[in-house]
Amino acid sequence: MAILAPSILSADFLNLGDNIRKLENAGIEMLHIDIMDGHFVPNLTFGPALVEYVRRFTRLKLDVHLMMTNPQDYIDEFCDVGADYITVHQEACMHLDRVISLIKKRGAKAGVALNPATPPSTLQYVLDDVDIVLVMSVNPGFGGQKFIERMLFKVAELDRLRGDKYGYQIEVDGGINNKNVKSLVESGADIIVAGTAVFRGDIIENCKKIGAIIK
């Protein structure tokens, strides 16, 4: 059993409020917000101001994915505007242990994301402290890319690794659709991020279809 966290990167920005209400009506519990800085990834998206507006508008859990260099400089700001979960990239943190502590000290849940080429073993000494491990199943930067099949092995590896020892949840992000989502949940994924598959076409129908597969 897993949950769906729609990524607003693929939403209709001029009708974001309407799109979010549809997600609520479809029973969604968590919203994924992709912050891109044009350095860590070759694209620019939103900043804390958007998170603040979304926070005021909805009670959905806000899952903020920081695809940026020096994420430590923005943890306070994203916590101040109401992020529930903050995920930083392993590849972007010289002092990952410190950044995780900072997030948790602010009362948010801490996630660490792994690019497709980064192995779970890089997290060995922080796994006790993280709430989420986010497996990127595309190279981060854009919505609508093709799912990298090999990432199923990474999800399964993280599932094996946690056994009874760790409490982290496994989140997967990128290229997920009706067809590949089942194998991800079977491999151990708990949180499924989807942009294109949710926002292209009928939002409520799409959420229900994916929801039925992952429940």
Query: Which residues belong to the annotated binding site?
Result: 7, 32, 34, 65, 141-144, 173-175, 195-196
Could you confirm whether 76 is annotated as catalytic? Answer: no
Per the annotation, binding residues for a divalent metal cation are 32, 34, 65, 173
Two tokens, residue 215:
């429940």
Instruction: List strand residue ranges (DSSP E) for 83-187, in order.
Output: 85-89, 109-114, 132-136, 169-173
How many helices and strands, by DSSP H and E, does the chain display?
Answer: 8, 8
**Rounded Cα distance, 126 and 182, in Å:** 29
The catalytic residue among 63, 131, 173, 190 is 173
Q: Is 145 in the site for ligand DX5 (CB under 6 A)?
A: yes
Strand ranges for 96-186 from DSSP E = 109-114, 132-136, 169-173
Backbone angles phi, psi at 70, to 5 degrees: 50, 45
CB distance 68 to 47 below 8 Å: no
Q: Which of 131/173 has CB closer to Zn ion?
A: 173
**Is residue 111 a contact point for ligand DX5 (CB under 6 A)?**
no
**Of the candidate residues 23, 173, 199, 210, the single one contacting Zn ion (CB under 5 A):** 173
Please give the residues from 17 up to 36 whose contact with Zn ion meets the rule CB under 5 A.
34
CB of 114 to ligand DX5, least distance (A): 12
* Strand ranges for 17-108 from DSSP E: 30-36, 61-67, 85-89
**Closest by Cα among 67, 182, 184 to 115:** 67
Which part of the chain contacts ligand DX5 (CB under 6 A), choosing from 103-111, 117-125, 173-181, 182-190?
173-181
Q: Which does 22 bind (CB under 5 to 8 A by kind): Zn ion, ligand DX5, none?
A: none
E strands within 74-115? Answer: 85-89, 109-114
Closer residue to Zn ion, CB minimum distance, 124 or 175: 175
Shortest distance, CB of residue 178 to ligand DX5, whole angstroms? 12
CA 96 – CA 130 distance, rounded (Å): 11
Question: In the set 42, 144, 167, 201, which binds ligand DX5 (CB under 6 A)?
Answer: 144
Does residue 65 sit in helix, strand or coil? strand
Nearest residue to ligand DX5 on Cβ basis? 195
Residues that bind ligand DX5 (CB under 6 A): 7, 9-10, 32, 34, 65, 138, 140-145, 173-176, 193-197
Catalytic residues: 34, 173
